[in-house]
Amino acid sequence: MTTVKNALYALGLPAALVTLWWGLTIDSTSFYVPKPGQLAVTLWNEWVGERFLTDFLPSVGRLTAGLVATILLGILLGALIGSVRWLRTLTEPLLEFLRAIPPPVLVPLLMLLIGINNQMKVVVIISGAIWPVLLNTVEGVRAIDTVLTNTCRSYRIGGLARWKYLVLPSASPQMMTGIRQSLSIGLILMVISEMFGSSSGLGFTIVLFQRAFAIPEMWSGIVVLGLIGIVLSVIFQVAERRVLHWYHGLRKAQRDA
């Protein structure tokens, strides 16, 4: 019975909204709002086929490459800066300024420096998405429980072992928060880099549709972007639950105490 109830909660509002949408557009010939059925058909026609290979996959590929590089670089640099005190003091004001620059403005700048190619788009993603990861890693690496630090010292756990068993796990909740934010920034930047300076990709295609007033096609592109966002979010949540299951357990134990 509870599974039925859960399903109703999960699907109730969405189903109601879709029904409303369908009902409102039954007789309409609105230019801007496609009918649900029409949208589904367009989605299939446009995106399952050649465009999948020429636009969808390259975009997703660049996004993936950008995010992976972001996470690795962000954690590496963040761990370095967080653990070397003078380095942190040296770079702090500079980093505060650099991360305050809205990442989209770097698109024309990077176009100028790198040109209009895949590298530029990946660098654009990194340039904006790295900040939450880097700064959160810095904070996470700094704020390790002193009792744990003393425990490691008294058992002479140092060097690489200390990183592997103390610092990185301790900072991981903070890092995951940063990574979550960088996922959404990365996606935004992927789209912007393709809308602004590109001749292929999801962003470019959507703008193309809009300029040609191919409205259902435009909406289908928006839906695809939305789906990518959702898939990223789901992947992240699955990964987070695995990596941080100890953290959730710990917090729950503390709350229930």
Is 239 a binder of other proteins (CB under 8 A)?
A: no
CB of 200 vs other proteins, minimal distance in Å = 17
Per DSSP, the three-state class of 202 is: helix
Name the percent of the chain in helix, strand, coil, to the closest 5.
Answer: 85, 0, 15
Cα 208 from chain centre: 24
| Residue of 165, 238, 239, 241 interacting with other proteins (CB under 8 A) | 165
Tell me the number of residues near other proteins by CB under 8 A. 87
CB of 42 vs other proteins, minimal distance in Å = 14
CA distance 142 to 89: 13
For other proteins, give the closer residue by CB, 68 or 157. 157
| Residue of 58, 139, 163, 200 interacting with other proteins (CB under 8 A) | 139
String of DSSP letters for 213-254 = T-HHHHHHHHHHHHHHHHHHHHHHHHHHHHHTHHHHHHHHHH
Per CB under 8 A, contacts with other proteins among 54-93 are 86, 89-93
CA distance 254 to 103: 38
CB of 140 vs other proteins, minimal distance in Å = 9
CA distance 116 to 193: 9
- CB contact set of 237 (below 8 Å; sequence gap of 6+): none
Of 21-29, 49-57, 69-77, 224-232, which segment contacts other proteins by CB under 8 A? 224-232
Of 42-50, 54-62, 64-72, 202-210, which segment contacts other proteins by CB under 8 A? 202-210
CB of 168 vs other proteins, minimal distance in Å = 10
| Residue of 79, 81, 107, 141 interacting with other proteins (CB under 8 A) | 107
Of 22-30, 41-49, 118-126, 135-143, which segment contacts other proteins by CB under 8 A? 135-143
CA distance 23 to 168: 53
For other proteins, give the closer residue by CB, 122 or 136. 136
